[in-house]
Structure 1
Amino acid sequence: MPEPTSQYPPVPPDDLQRTLTISQPDKDQTLPHIGLVGDTYTITVSGNDTNGRFCVVDMHIPPGGGPPPHRHDFEETFILLEGEMEATFRGNKSIVRAGDTINIPANAPHRFHNISSRPVRLLCICSPAGQEEFFQQVGIPVATRTTAPPKLDKQQQQEFMEKAKALAPKYRTELLREA
């Protein structure tokens, strides 16, 4: 092991107050499952688990699903586990398939959309954490990782959008118009 120097300070000691996190999104009924924009997001690792460094969200996106265009001041990485989706990054569209990983740099306009006839499952890692709190503030709790959120009528959709727009700046997010 190299000697600590001013150029390379020593690694800090282990923080014994922090614990191992094991998440089982299909079994653990205590995990938050959030219905949002027709999708279901399960928070598997929160910022509370990582000292705010990152969060992990297991996303179930039905055919036609996915959030509208947006951007935010944090990094976002998607690992596609099942299915195929369209990712739009700064206006350019790409097809992403199971096994692919994409990273969205902070502040870049983007969206993802399930254009297939089957559900898509992906892991979303946000760094630093905080996006999971936004999802919990604006979404609707649902029973499981694959439970569809309730359909919103026109009035409920308008109320949802007003709430999302009001909270977005707090979570360093900007909702963009459809192109």
Structure 2
Amino acid sequence: MNPTPQTAPVPRLIRADQGNRIINVHDEVTFKLTGPDTGGVFALGLATTQPGGGPPPHRHSREDELFIVVEGEIQCGTVNGWLTARAGDVVYLPAGSVHTFHNASDAVAKHWILVTPPGFETFFERFTNVLNAAQGGAPDMAALHAAAGDFGIDLLPPHALPAR
């Protein structure tokens, strides 16, 4: 997918209660800034992950991803092993790296997600629509893989990463 031309960004304040809030069975992300807001430079969202939540292993072919943990802790899996990130920690996941994250604690975890270039915010909304359409049943895996593939994201099996 080719990026669309962007308009010049303007200075702005996004209040704590503002943003595009997207909720699925595993996670909630409130996107505070999207590609159009930043002139196509990055997207920024605040993720809330319930205990046990997190995505399957995956790889972004386009985006570098940065997590800044603000509450609780998340375990980040990479091909090099698992890391536990706590409030104040930063995790950098370059484009092309296989990764996942998981909230293994009993408390809600919150972390900022910064992706560059943007586009992940559009993917996450489409992916969530497919998950939510399942209404608690098995999601349409072909539709999930198609959504991911359209955005240069590969969904991988659990064995793509070392066991926790």
Fold similarity call, TM over 0.5: yes
Aligned residue type for 2:10? T
Whether the 8 Å CA contact 2:70–2:110 is kept in 1: the answer is yes
**CA drift at 1:99:** 0.2
**CA drift at 1:91:** 5.0
When the two structures are superposed, what TM-score results if normalisation uses the length of structure 1?
0.77
Aligned partner of 2:156 in structure 1 is 176
Using the alignment, how far apart are the partners of 1:22 and 1:120 within structure 2? 24
Q: 1:33 aligned to 2:16?
A: no
After superposition, the C-alpha distances for 1:36-76 in whole angstroms (9 at most, x for unaligned) are 34210111110011111110011000000011100112100
**CA drift at 1:170:** 1.5
Segments of structure 1 that go 5 or more residues without pairing to the other structure are 1-15, 141-148
Aligned partner of 2:37 in structure 1 is 49
When the two structures are superposed, what TM-score results if normalisation uses the length of structure 2?
0.84
Return the index of the structure with the highest Cα Rg: 1
> What is the identity percentage for the equivalent residue pairs of Structure 1 and Structure 2?
31
Q: 1:126 aligned to 2:115?
A: yes
> RMSD of aligned C-alpha atoms?
2.0
Count of residue correspondences: 150
* Within-5 A mapping of 1:154-173: 154=137, 157-159=138-140, 161-173=141-153
Using the alignment, how far apart are the partners of 2:44 and 2:151 within structure 1? 16
Whether the 8 Å CA contact 1:38–1:151 is kept in 2: the answer is no
Of residues 137, 144, 169, the one that matches 2:126 is 137
After superposition, the C-alpha distances for 1:63-94 in whole angstroms (9 at most, x for unaligned) are 00011100112100000000011110115011
Segments of structure 2 that go 5 or more residues without pairing to the other structure are 1-6, 160-164
